[in-house]
Amino acid sequence: MPLALVTGASKGIGTAIARALAPTHRLLLGGTDADALAALAKELPDASPLAVELTDPDAVSQAVGDIDALDLLVHSAGVAPLGRIEDADRADWQRNFDVNVLAVVELTRLLLPALRAASGHVVLINSGAGYNARPGWAPYAASKFALRAFGDALRAEEPSLRVTSVHPGRTDTPMQERIVAGEGREYQAADFLRPESVANAVLGAVTAGEDAHVTEVSIRPR
């Protein structure tokens, strides 16, 4: 059974992706909430928690050092500190890029030998903000534009791998609840994509035939 590592697996889209992959993959559940990861691992048939702070390069290197072949790497961990350019400070920009870009780059770099060994697949959970930058979203959108560029470069540099950038619209997650609260609006879950819908799109890209390389997926709420 192929091996998949899913980051951000403790909640939201990451949890939904782990559940969608569970029937066909052995899973490593990456994230920082050790209790939530352990609970999810007990729920799934062949899953193990991998609790690690993704912005700590030494900790990440130690956590994944024994992986010698990896069929699927799903980068679902992310943050979304927002703010207008005049208001967002350096820390807001730094946090977005540390988690949404640099942690992704470093984990991928460390796992490239294992991915090459399996002719693996890298899935980057991006955002609609990776295509369009809205007012008040500059720090987050800039990080997602950078993530899309990283995916494009990885795809070009590593022809033995498949690389898919997934761009969901606004999705019903704890992160979305915080964003809506920051906008001063009432949260209505029905206004947003379900995490399971995003997970199904990821599953479609992952299970495409060997002759197919799904490079980008864009999903919007109806």
Whether the pLDDT of residue 212 is over 90: the answer is yes
Distance in angstroms (rounded) separating the CA atoms of residues 32 and 184: 28
Distance in angstroms (rounded) separating the CA atoms of residues 70 and 167: 23
Strands of 65-204 (E only): list them.
Answer: 72-75, 121-125, 162-168
Known catalytic residue at 187: no
**Predicted pLDDT at 53:** 97
**Predicted pLDDT at 204:** 97
**Predicted pLDDT at 114:** 98
Per-residue confidence band for 85, with pLDDT thresholds at 50, 70 and 90: very high
Q: Mean pLDDT lowest for which of 70-74, 95-99, 161-165, 182-186?
A: 182-186
In this prediction, residues 129-136 reach a mean pLDDT of: 94
* Nearest-10 Cα torsion for 34, 14, 174, 42: -40
Name every residue whose Cβ is closer than 8 Å to that of residue 38 and which is 6 or more positions away in sequence: 49
- Residue with the bigger pLDDT between 124 and 176: it is 124
User: Active site residue: 93, 137, 140, 192, which one?
Assistant: 140
pTM of the model: 0.95
Q: What is the CATH number of the domain that holds 43?
A: 3.40.50.720
168-211: pLDDT as tens digits: 988 878 888 888 777 778 888 888 889 999 999 999 999 998 89
Closest CA to 144 of 84, 80, 50, 210: 80
7-20: pLDDT as tens digits: 999 999 999 999 99
97-123: pLDDT as tens digits: 999 999 999 999 999 999 999 999 999
- Count of the separate structural domains present in the chain: 1
Residues above pLDDT 70, as percent of the chain? 100
Query: Which structural domain, as residue segments, surrounds residue 178?
Result: 3-219
